[in-house]
A and B are shown apart, each in its own frame.
Chain A
């Protein structure tokens, strides 16, 4: 028998004391010997937020005995926050499930089962459900080849290679209800940033924050959610930067800010619109940048209008715009007309001025509740970065994304940054702070219904042939100076098909295009729609990979209820979560729930090998430190075993349409998946000889392509994700690089040989805009790239063309960043709308109070709150000490110790009105449900006076649920079932509720 030191002392030590009256021997009682030297050390990346901190895992006797910050890692330099510091407890947790489990219909308990049994049974269910719900053709007789009876969510917790496999498996099975965390955390980011600049990701990266002169943190609480970002925020402050925090609550971020501006939750566009007006009125914009790099000089159709809260072309019955007037005026060649004097009344610049002329400080103050003095302070300090040699950054997260107009809030910030000339610059950018370790990667691999890896479009039934599909999504430009990078769409799409179907993808069969599931033109299959369909009983089988929608989705009661309508569910997780145990949630009799549930134990990050992509687009490799705990298995193994079994079933009994499944290129071996092989597939390789346009072989068959410039549309290359092409080429695994030297001549902290960043290891995207059209940097001291007469120096440029040869925003067909963004559903300029549930009318246009284009659901669970009954503005937030739905933190004793109970923050004024005492129990209720919480009465919250009304706010963390070491009410029980007009990300950051003493 082996005893730990502590056990020995308890057991033997006490005996010694009693028998001899002496204390334990010095050898036993001395401090623990130096453990670092005992151990094998492995590098990994933290599995919590998306800062991507390095962790050293110390292993002794095949067990994780120590985890601490990796001192060589350029981002965290040895530091870790409280979650990162607790990873050893995660690896060893006894709360983890270590055996496959099964819950029979109506049963009230789990039963341990074997992997073989579980996988065989799940494979059978998959086939049965797929075959029973198969849609071969749509009503118009066009090929659909999809199932709407299977759904899958997750996961940002998977490695990139696993995401890639999962996409292949699910698309191969014809699944179209395919969603994950990205939908509900940053989908509006992708819609806004891709529209504005061309790519849907954080523009800069964590270390780059140090280069800023002004940092606006709004819609984010970075000090709490991304604590290591504050290493770099603190560095910037030490160099003289101003930190501005705009937040409904005074947070740990606000505690470090020079300016704190309290703002009513949901009023962000008003505040930012006021900033646009301030910049224009005071001529603080960066004129050369605005003229050369944005669409401000471009002329818009004179018929374009905005009045009474609506842009031209609105159809109220469809809640949709006809966007034909939101278009550029063009010359006879189709090149947009420009007025570089910015004077033409139809140029974007003048339209912008007119649009925001209504956003004066008085009006903004009445909407936001922020004092005029504070607003002006914020505007003045931030707008100062419009000077060419000054730069400001914006850090935001869910406070912006989760609104019915979330995309437009982010668009507003993009406009501010473009006016100030802050995009593409060191210390600048619109920095979407992503909250899960690989949510950037899982987004890039597009575990989302509407896109395929690398942000290619999911085919729709109207895209009947490959040719039509490619024409539909490949933009054209007549401007010779537009790089129009998406002109390469066919190369990426065909390479993707070659990866999907291998030898079964030939020029003769449109590279297997007809094997792909096609979604209906008019149907939305996103998160809210998925749970509506599940609630309506249309979805029969459901996978939840590392995701816990019973806690994380808006209107959680509906999601939980919807799960009861499933025939079967497969939950793949480290823990038994609220989702896997939905059938034994409080108030439910398990006997009434007929859903079969399979719970499969997954390996934790240190138990497998693969890459994850942080918020700054760095794909970093994680090495395996220990074997998976008990019988748990890497997700890649589970996917592989499942697909092997499903394919076998289809070979034995073809059913209605086996072809898409059996023709899938699924060659990942019989056992453990070699994730390096998958990573090489993600990079892309030559299937046949790849030739240049002169016919010379540039990549011989079988070799890895260098990057996406070597991908071809002729079937000679296969690539699982063109964006990651270059990550694992013939030079090796670039994501595993660990050279922490800053090679940039101006030491702006790019660390270009540490890991690998998409695209093509470019660390700051849109960097051509950091220079004027002569290639001279606006800020020579902190230049990103500069032209030395022959070539660009510094970061990998956004295209190697000489300065002035091409417009700087190469992903947009017109070549300019969009201040006027015609591609969005609810308007080319952001306009202030009230949340779906608001205590006040929109004072700008009371008859069009809310966003005109988001979808309103109509089931009996989709209830809207009346302000008379629910007068208080509610919002949700995250804590440093917990994470997401809490599964990964409410199961760790150290983190539970720090934040043991669900609570709700409120002002002393509200507490006094309701007779609530700090620390007392309260009920928070909305039209959807009610929860109990501890009242945290704090002056960090304050009531607002809005247009004469006194409005109270409460704020709640959303980490709690009914499983784990600490249980409590889920804030998402309260949140509303409506989503953004562009992406349907739910509006969880501003809703109505009431609060009372419990």
Chain B
């Protein structure tokens, strides 16, 4: 038995309640952004943004559609981030959540490179940087609560439940309304299946979803793993240097009075 999420993009109104509910629950600070001619912001996932909504204007002749897609960790059934992690800091819990243990992490960022969806993000601005990513709100799961994003979704576009049940729901919806949905549950089979799955009315490649086969990716991680022994020494030296630079920048940043940071950040 493992949990999952079914995200039905045809129901998403792009209100971004999920984006803020995630930051609210996980106490993530705001990022400094600017309007780049789009509603989409922040521009990408980061250590401070574990989920966000991407906005897609799709023109079909004179007809325009506007599709909103939630990006974030897919909680792969066979997570390549976990496979790539040389110290076992990432693992998939029996209930399906792919989680991270900072205690074990050495900051090698292999998980970042291994992830097919570009999810794990490094805390570049921290003196003791961690890898950050969606935890499926594991602290909520432990209390029998659904993840913050799913709970806050006004239209039920994000449904949380047993993955198998959600798959059935998804198939039933597609069968009932073949005119509405593309015949594809993204995440049902991709990279061996993911816990977070999507339904859409437009082909997923138009929404920037990468195209993957059903083969689980962890085997690619093994290739990366072979590079570990010679690299490890270099990493140690580099990390020392990086730490020094970051610490210096952090000190300088703390003197700035840029308001667009979480208050607790200023206390440091």
Contacts and interface: CB of A to CB of B under 8 A. Distances in A.
B154 A230 contact: yes
Contact of A79 (B38, B142, B153): B153
Contacts of B268: 6-7, 10-11
Interface stretch (B17-25, B70-78, B225-233): B17-25
Lowest 4 CB-CB distances: which A-B pairs, in order? Answer: A919-B37, A893-B30, A918-B37, A901-B35
Contacts, number: 213
Given A66-B24, A893-B29, A10 B128 contact: yes
A69 B151 CA distance: 8
B37 A937 contact: yes
8 contacts: A14-B127, A17-B243, A24-B103, A71-B151, A85-B21, A934-B34, A936-B37, A965-B259
Given A34-B139, A252-B66, A901-B34, A80 B264 contact: no
Interface string A894-930: 1111111101000000000000011110000000000
Contacts of B14: 223, 252, 255, 880
A81 B152 CA distance: 7
Interface stretch (A25-33, A283-291, A450-458, A696-704): A25-33
A250 B102 CA distance: 45
Contacts of B31: 897
Nearest to A941: B64
- The number of chain B residues touching the other chain, given as a range, is 35 or more
Interface stretch (A88-96, A267-275, A360-368): A88-96
B67 A255 contact: yes
Interface of B is mostly: loop
Interface string B131-162: 00001001110110100100111111000000
B37 A29 contact: no
Contact of A230 (B13, B38, B247, B261): B13
Interface string B229-268: 0000000000000010001000000000001111111111
A292 interface: no
A900 B143 CA distance: 35
Contacts of A37: 143
A897 B33 contact: yes
B16 A881 contact: yes
A488 interface: no
A82 B22 CA distance: 10
B261 A893 contact: yes
Interface string B116-130: 000000000011101
- The number of chain A residues touching the other chain, given as a range, is 35 or more
A893 B103 contact: no
Interface string A1-14: 00010110111011
A76 interface: yes
B156 A231 contact: yes
Contacts of A223: 13-15
B169 to A, nearest CB: 13
Contacts of B215: none
Contacts of B193: none
Contacts of A230: 13, 15, 154-155
B41 interface: yes
A14 B126 CA distance: 10
A880 B15 contact: yes
A400 B1 CA distance: 52
Nearest to B107: A23
A140 B110 CA distance: 88
B44 interface: no
Interface in B145-199: 145, 148, 151-156
A496 B3 CA distance: 59
Given A13-B128, A88-B24, A939-B64, A26 B41 contact: no
Nearest to B157: A234
Interface in B81-117: 99, 101-106
A506 B84 CA distance: 85
A228 interface: yes
Nearest to B59: A939
B16 A82 contact: yes
Nearest to A3: B267
A80 B41 CA distance: 19
Nearest to A67: B24
